[in-house]
Each structure stands twice: as C-alpha cells, then as structure tokens.
A = this chain, B = another copy of it.
Amino acid sequence: MTAQENPADSSATTTPAWGAPYLLYLGNAPDDLSIKTARGLAYWRPEWCLGQFRGPECKSWLDLPDMGFAEAKAAGADTMVLGIANAGGIMDPQMVRDVVAALDAGLNIASGLHKRLASHPEIAEAAARNGRALFDARYFPLSISVGKGLRRPGRRLLTVGTDCSTGKMYTTLALERELRKRGVAADFRATGQTGILIGGGGIPIDALIADFISGGAEWLTPGREDGGWDLIEGQGSLFHPSYAGVSLGLLHGAQPDALVLCHEPNRPHMRGLPHYGVPDLKRCLEANLQSARLTQPDVIAVGVSLNTSKLSAQEAADACKAAEDLLGLPCQDPVATGVDKIVDNLLSCFAS
C-alpha cells in the first residue's frame, strides 16, 4: 500500500491513527441516497471494506457481509466509517449508542457528518476510555494561508459541474484509475467528506472559513515536479446560487491546466432550487474557463463527463454524442463506459 492507498499512512492531514480495513456503518438508513458515502467507499475502495453494519430498520444495503462491531474487529477491521447522511448531518441517539459500542469493541471511528464526533460527550469519553481515534472528515484542524495565486509547477486537472452532485468525484477517481493504469503518476485530491474518506486525506473545502477557499486549494495541491497529475475533485457549480463562491475559490486556487465538465442530462432544475434551471454546457464551460484564466491563462477543457445512470443505453450514447458535437470534446460516463477517451485527449494535449 502506498501512502495514498491507506488513510492511516496519509500525511495529507494530521497523521490519523485510523485507517482501513473498514466496517461501513449504515445504521437505520431510510433509503439508498442516505448511504452515498458508504456506497462511494465500497465502489472505489472495495479492498478496504470488510463488511457493513445495518440497524434493525435499515432500508438499504451494499454487497458486503453484515457484521457486528466485535465480529468486525475480530475479522481485522480497524475503523468504522459512518457512511450515512441524514437531515442536518445530526446523529440520532441510536447512532451515538452504536458509535460508543463500536469504540468499546476496539474500533476507531471516521465520520462524514457535519457535527463533530467529540461534541457528543459519550463518544468523547468512550474514545478516551478505549484509546481510539475519532476522525471528522468535514473538520480541518490546520492553519493555512489565504491564496497567493503564485504559479507553481506540476500539472493539475479540476472537475467542474453544471450543478452539485453531477459526478465530479466519480469522474476524478475514474481519471486517477485510468491514468495509473497507463503508468502515469496521478493522485486524486479530495475536497469533500466522501472524497476525503476514499482518498485517505484532503481538505473539506466548503467547511473552511470563506477567506481561505483558494488558499485551501493551494494547500491541497502544492507544486509537484514528477511530471504527474493532481486530479482535483470539484465542488458545486459557478451557476449554483448557494455555493458558487466555493466553486470559484476552488477554481482559482486549483490553478488547473485542464478542466473536465461534469453534467447530468435531463435534470429538471438546480439541486435543491426548483426555481433555477441548469445552465447549458457551452455557457457553463466558457464561464469556468474564463474565471480559471485569472490564475492559469493557459487552461483548456479536455472532456465532458455525463452521469447517464437514469438514461437507457441508447439515450446515454445520444447524450454523449450531442455533447461531443456541441463542444468538440470527448464525452463519456465514468461509471458506464470509463474515461479512456478523455484521458487519450488529456495526454495528447499535454504530450510534451
């Protein structure tokens, strides 16, 4: 395992005393949407995931063995990951009891929820009692500087989107997989809680103080000299009225050489905002390129990524073809077809 392959060895944040193998906690998840974090981990890091813990009312599951806390520990699990999201990111009393029981069974805990684990006194006490680690992926403990905008060496690719939740993380991870398959040094750089748990480090960019967004992106991707790529997980959209500030700061701080535009066809409106339509691809890409040029005048777009999970195979192929014709860029679905054509184009554009 390399440093990036096991969070326990990561130096991307303060060295955590936790890591794979994982027990994925699904609790009493009411639906598939609420286990997005656990599903992402199981999809991208199956070799890290030993089992799942499901409560009596859990309505969702992964393709993993069901395990209790002691059973998981005995099977070699190091850390239980709270892989579920619920309204407001709050832990209900049952979840707190389960976390305490897992700590008492000897597991460390990693969480992608908003509220910090140690803010629950029972959890803080159980962790101390058992000498276990608590890791909050949404919390960033280090002091960083504001962005400087200084040109730095190395190549960086950023995924940008027409909206939130259009597949930026999946696309970025698929690019990492494809580039590594071809022997090109490439590292996923996580900016959200699920990505941080998958990547074993990163920075929760939307949880930083507003003045430090671009500084956070600069911290995440310092210059590299090995000819490899930093592949940066994008967040939000320049066209999302709630979060565009995060997207712009990330775009400036990332100083990307290359952009991949991520989109979900047929989405009726911007996520969470029924009164806002989704921008068209051309306008969205042009706005991102224009803003990115402030810190990286030579930025180019290298591909389009579509989430076609709700389309038939024919509809998906038609949608990709339409995007290719519109933008003159290769277009693929990272889950359905992989990203080989996008990587072909990336490597061809940066062949020197």
Check if A276 is an interface residue, CB within 8 A of chain B: yes
Query: What residues of B have a CB within 8 angstroms of the CB of A149 in the complex?
Result: 241-242, 273, 275-276
The answer to whether A294 touches B239 (Cβ under 8 A) is yes
Name A231-271 residues within 8 Å CB distance of B. Answer: 238-239, 241-250, 252-253
Q: Tell which of B148, B215, B239, B242 touches A215, judged by Cβ atoms closer than 8 Å.
A: B242
Complex-state Cα separation, A147 to B205, whole angstroms: 17
**Number of A residues, CB within 8 Å of B:** 37
Nearest B-chain residue to A239, judged by Cβ: B294
Q: Tell which of B208, B211, B215, B244 touches A248, judged by Cβ atoms closer than 8 Å.
A: B244
- Chain B: minimal CB distance from A205 (Å): 7
Nearest B-chain residue to A215, judged by Cβ: B242
Copies of this chain present in the complex amount to: 2
- Chain B: minimal CB distance from A282 (Å): 15
Check if A214 is an interface residue, CB within 8 A of chain B: yes
A residues adjacent to B (C-beta < 8 A): 146-151, 205-215, 238-239, 241-250, 252-253, 273, 275-276, 291, 294-295
Query: What residues of B have a CB within 8 angstroms of the CB of A252 in the complex?
Result: 241, 244-245
Q: A147-B243, A207-B210, A208-B210 are in contact. List 13 more A-B contacts (CB 8 A).
A: A150-B275, A207-B209, A207-B211, A209-B210, A210-B210, A210-B212, A210-B213, A210-B245, A214-B245, A238-B248, A241-B252, A244-B291, A245-B245
The 28 listed contacts between A and B (C-beta, < 8 Å) are A146-B242, A146-B243, A147-B241, A147-B242, A148-B241, A148-B242, A149-B241, A206-B209, A206-B210, A206-B211, A207-B209, A207-B211, A209-B209, A210-B210, A210-B212, A210-B245, A211-B246, A213-B245, A214-B242, A214-B243, A241-B252, A241-B295, A244-B252, A245-B245, A245-B248, A245-B249, A245-B252, A248-B248
